[in-house]
Structure 1
Amino acid sequence: MDAPQPASRAGGVVATLALAGITAAIMQTLVTPLIADLPEILDTSASNAAWVITVTLLAAAVCVPVVGRLGDLVGKRPMLLVCAVPLVVGSVVCALASDVVTMIVGRGLQGMGMGVVPLGIALLRDVVPAERLSPSIALVSASMGIGGGLGLPVAAAVAQYADWRALFWGAAALAVLVTALIWFLIPDVPAAARGQRFDLPGALGLGAGLVCLLLAVSKGADWGWGSGTTLGLFAAAVVTLVAWGFWEIRTTDPLTDLRTTARPRVLLTNLASVFVGFAMYASMLVMPQLLQFPEATGYGLGQSMLAAGLWMAPGGIMMMFVSPLGGRLTNARGPKVTLVSGALVIAAGYGLSMVLMGSAWGLMVVGIVINSGVGLAYGSMPALIMGSVPLSETAAANGFNTLMRSLGTSVGAAVIGVILAQMTTTLGGRTFASEDGFRTALLVGGALALVSAAIAAAIPAARPAPAAPVGDRAADEPEQAAV
């Protein structure tokens, strides 16, 4: 492994990787202001237009673990550049799209580029000085939340006052900038797992299982949770993922080393990640609707799309400020304390929502508190993971952790969607989610944040890796007590 870079060079690396994460997050939230208009823009049905969002999730879920493993095998810088290409091309395809199929293709390409975040986090372990590692990891890890918080109001403003294609041309320009910065500022670090083979059957099996699972979760409400299609996809996901697990245990160079993943520190961190992802996304689904629902409902705040985005923006900005503080807390007390603290802060934010949801100012405060907790939690997870896995599996392990967060947000979207669809009220012939529905959704988000805190509290203390003979695979275990 190369020596850590000088402080000035490391600063450029961290800034580049954080911008890459923010760009990836903006790609995900880019179409949010357009959701209601997509059927008209693309001359298609609402159900077909929904694939514009779903395909990005599916592409990211399949590609992130694969890209992470390839980063360990061939090098993180080359794979960062590979991930940047579909971000650029996908944005251009979307900007030129005039039909739903072309738009879906472009959005799928954008999803393929989401591996920049776990790759970037893994790279930090190789190039950033030890004293700056925890704050740097926290900032890059939180960049997805920062990008989502800042990208939404910008996208809403562009969608409201300019042609919708400008959103994608702007995203393409941002992706080109990120590509150039990666090319010039990111050092080429030797691959830690060079010489091992790529597990193609494992990649295909995991991809197939995830597609079945996430399709069932994301489209179950449209197809019916008891429909043959939904149940069949869930069954296929279980069978495929179980078969994949058996393969991964028996193959020599697995895509994901399940023995490492099963270690209590890694397993519990990933499990906590699922619940944190759910808790984070619950607020992102509920708060914009509360802000934009008509005041005549008695609980809606009647804000425009742009105003709602601006009320939520301080939450994303707060993540930017909290992330370095979380890194310092990790240095002082360890990443476990930071994760528990973050989950408890998220729960506190949901608690505040019970009394502050009646005003835009109140929801802004709630968003700031919840996103502060997310910043702490997201920054601590990679530190826990990287302190528990071999150097040769750093990128793959971070990719798997990112996948767990995404799984949490996907399940969260489905569960919150069911709650709001079942608890409704009627006004002027239109059906809206009721105030009780919103309160229930917020309570569920808070409860799962507490579950995440309890799981994180159970993470065992780090232990130094046992000595191993030179050349043995166990020899590249990290000194876990140092993280």
Structure 2
Amino acid sequence: MSDPSSRLTTGKPADAPGFRSPALIITALILAECVSAFEAGTIFIALPRFSEIFDAPASTTGWAVTAYMLVAAATALVGGRLGDMYGRKKVLIVIMLVSVLGSVISVLGDSMAAIIIGRGVQGVSGAILPLCYGLAREALPAPKVPIAIGFVSGAALLAGSGGSLIAGVLLDVADWHMIFVLAAVLAVVASAVAAVVLPGAHTRSELPRFDYVGAILMTPGLIALLYGITQGPAWGWTSPAVIGLIVAGLVILAVWTFWELGRDEPLVDFRVLANKQMTLNLIGLSVLALGPVGAVQIVTPMILQAPDSLPIGLGQSATVTGFVAGIAALVGFITSPLAGAVAGRWGGRTAFFIGAALFAVANLMILLGHKSLVVMMGVFAVAAVATAFAFTGYPKIVIESVPDNVTSVTTGILSTARQAFSAIGVAIVSVMLSIWTVPGTTAPTLSSFNAAVGWFILCSLIVAAICLFIGRPQPEPKQAGSIAAGEEGSATSAAYA
């Protein structure tokens, strides 16, 4: 049976029936991603206040971050697959409404335990970004798709930084409950806009079966692995608990991979990932997450806020740090249409390459000018632009490389890999920063700091080199035909191997 949704195209024709305003669709996608980014960004600044209010140690309040991250990593993949199968608009709205429930639990529970549970429920919003990428491809004409991806990626950066600023203000002028109230209001508004503006999914004559066994195997395996990695610095890498979690996670994921390879309708079709573009794209994003995308978030706040009496530190307040990050995020958002235009004109690999190269430049600036506030403001701005280009480039490579009906699950795989390797990168950099410390403190010496920043530069250069080997995007056929459902994997491999 022919399946129109399996066409390898980069967007719907501009004259397709029911076509809606690209500006409205892009606005709806931006609002949706703001829900996820806002929820992810607000919590960090509130953790010290939670410790005071609930008399809880950092090891307990930190679960508000960990619970969200673990659920988000698993949901990005599962939610993406559900969207590809049953309609991305429907799943997107359901995901955002579930995140509202998480906010309600945190507010009404009025305890640290309730906040942790609520944050875990909010973690389902990890699926929003993959769903937005799939919706952009499904609902927009091909020339508008890279622009939409650029705006959505820029919105993630802006809402994440803006969330920290807004949370800080709310903590000062109101109380912590308002952070979750605002998150709930944003999710409700974004859901309403999505329901009105986004077009419905294409009707399919036959739906594939959801791989429940694959989802059941993947989720605990991924959670065990990520939790073991995140707890490594605190518990010790030789701790039986850490080793047990990591080994158990790897074993479960190995069984899951074997299961997926034997299914006709798997949760993750590894055949789609078995072409050069997608393999290099996955490797490149993973390496980027090991350094300049993930662990760098440890180093840059340290530079601004640590006392200037230490080898590394400018002695700035948290407010100044938030302001610098917010202005930089705005620069990144403004630049996002340019990133989309570059990806549309020269392909995702070009935008990804520019992003990686700019990350190398930003970290070289850190290495040479970390004692200057002006230079550090430039670092934040360059890194924000780098993020806009990189996070526009890698999903554009997905769109250039896989069929439409697996767009969201494939970008979900990349999102999950990014979170997993970010956790690994944080562990690596934490070790680097603790190798040499200032006597009597836990602050890193200049040697430890240089080792960490050198790691960021190395990762950036490796990713830039990888981008050079990603093939040019294939020209879109004038009349895109359908690929029979049973031949989808082999046709994709033949065309894009």
Task: State the TM-score bracket (shorter-chain normalisation).
Answer: over 0.9
SS at match of 1:296: coil
Structure 2 residue aligned with 1:253:
265
Counterparts of 1:121 and 1:103 in 2: how far apart (Å)? Answer: 30
Q: How does 1:29-48 map to 2 (within 5 A)?
A: 29-48=41-60
Q: Structure 1 residue 22: deviation in Å?
A: 2.0
C-alpha distance in 1, partners of 2:28/2:289? 24
**1: CA distance, partners of 2:403 / 2:21:** 25
Residues 134-153 of structure 1: pairs in structure 2 closer than 5 A: 134-153=146-165
- Per the alignment, residue 24 of structure 2 pairs with 12
C-alpha displacement of 1:127? 1.1
| Distance of 2:393 and 2:102 partners within structure 1 | 31
1:81 to 87, 93, 101: 93
Amino acid at match of 1:199: D
Alpha-carbon distance in 2 for matches of 1:324, 1:7: 22
Matched, 1:101 2:88: no
1: CA distance between counterparts of 2:205 and 2:222? 25
User: How many angstroms apart in 1 are the aligned matches of 2:476 and 2:192?
Assistant: 39
Mapped contact 2:45–2:168 kept (Cα < 8 A): yes
Whole-Å separation in 1 of the counterparts to 2:60 and 2:483? 56
C-alpha displacement of 1:287: 1.1
Unaligned runs of 5+ in 2: 6-11
Q: Is the 8 A contact 1:343 1:452 kept in 2?
A: yes
Q: Does 1:390 align with 2:378?
A: no
Structure 1 residue 377 displacement after superposition: 0.9
1:333 aligns with 2:346: yes
Residues 155-164 or 393-402, more deviating:
155-164
Q: How much has 1:8 moved relative to structure 2?
A: 6.2
1:52 aligns with 2:82: no
Please give the alpha-carbon distance, in whole angstroms, between the structure 2 residues aligned to 1:469 and 1:218.
44
1:449-478 CA-partner distances (Å, limit 9, x unpaired): 111112222223345799999634335967
SS at match of 1:303: coil
Letter of the aligned partner of 1:443 in structure 2? G
Q: Hey, what does 1:433 align to over in structure 2?
A: 444
Stretch deviating more after TM superposition (226-235 or 164-173): 164-173
Kindly indicate whether residue 465 of structure 2 is the aligned counterpart of residue 449 of structure 1: no
Q: Secondary structure at the match of 2:405?
A: helix
Q: Deviations over 1:345-402 (max 9, x none)?
A: 1111111111221122211100111121111011011111122112221111111111
Distance 1:237 1:174 in 2: 35
CA RMSD of aligned residues (A): 2.5
Alignment of 1:219-298 (within 5 A): 219-278=231-290, 279-298=292-311
Q: Identify which range, 91-100 or 394-403, moves more after superposition.
A: 91-100
SS at match of 2:443: strand
Greater RCO (Cα-Cα under 8 Å, separation 6 or more)? 2
Question: Does the 8 Å contact 2:101/2:118 carry over to 1?
Answer: yes
**Retained in 2: the 8 A contact 1:465–1:478?**
no
Contact 1:90–1:107 (Cα < 8 Å) also in 2: yes
Percent of pairs identical after alignment?
A: 28
Structure 2 SS opposite 1:432 = coil
From 158, 165, 168, the counterpart of 2:180? 168
Return the letter of the residue paired with 2:449. F
Q: Which runs of 5+ in 1 are unaligned?
A: none
Q: Please tell me whether the aligned partners of residues 346 and 373 of structure 1 are also in contact (alpha carbons under 8 angstroms).
A: yes
Does 1:210 pair with 2:249?
no
Offset, 1:423: 3.1
Cα displacement (A) at 1:447 = 1.2
Tell me which residue corresponds to 1:354.
367
Q: What amino acid sits opposite 1:326 in the alignment?
A: A
Instruction: State the 1:408 CA deviation.
Output: 2.7
Aligned equivalent of 1:461, options 448, 456, 472: 472
Task: Output the CA distance in 2 between the equivalents of 1:421 and 1:160.
Answer: 33
Are the aligned partners of 2:312 and 2:444 in contact in 1 as well (CA < 8 Å)? no
The C-alpha deviation readout for 1:10-41, integer Å capped at 9, x for no partner, is 21111111121122111112111122333332
The reply on whether 1:62 has 2:35 as its aligned counterpart is no
2-structure distance, mates of 1:366, 1:335: 24
The yes-or-no answer on 1:323 pairing with 2:325 is no
Q: Distance in 2 between matches of 1:122 and 1:232?
A: 37
Q: Distance in 1 between matches of 2:411 and 2:305?
A: 36
CA distance 1:298–1:193, shift in 2 (3 Å): farther
Counterpart residue number, 1:307: 320
- The CA distance in 2 between the partners of 1:333 and 1:469, in whole Å, is 26
- 1:115-147 deviations in Å (ceiling 9; x for gaps): 111101101111111221111112213432222
In the alignment, which of 189, 196, 201 is matched to residue 189 of structure 1? 201
CA gap 1:473/1:137 in 2 versus in 1, 3 angstroms: farther
Distance in 2 of aligned mates of 1:203 and 1:191: 25
**Number of equivalences:** 480
Counterpart Cα distance in 2 of 1:149 and 1:52: 18
- Matched with 2:39 is 27
Distance 2:127 2:483 in 1: 32
1:127 correspondence with 2:136 = no
Larger displacement relative to structure 2 (186-195 or 460-469): 460-469
Does the CA-based 8 Å contact 1:387-1:480 persist in structure 2?
no
Q: Structure 1's 98 and 418: CA in aligned 2 closer, same or farther, altered over 3 A?
A: farther
Distance 1:409 1:193, change over 3 A: farther
Shift, 1:277, TM fit: 2.5
* Alignment partners' CA distance in 1, 2:457 and 2:224: 29
CA distance in 1, matches of 2:467, 2:147: 20
Give the one of 396, 413, 417 matched to 2:426.
Answer: 413
The answer on whether the counterparts of 1:19 and 1:178 sit within 8 Å (CA) in structure 2 is yes
Give the Cα–Cα distance (whole angstroms) in 2 for the partners of residues 290 and 193 of structure 1: 57
Report which stretch shifted further, 123-132 or 143-152.
Answer: 143-152
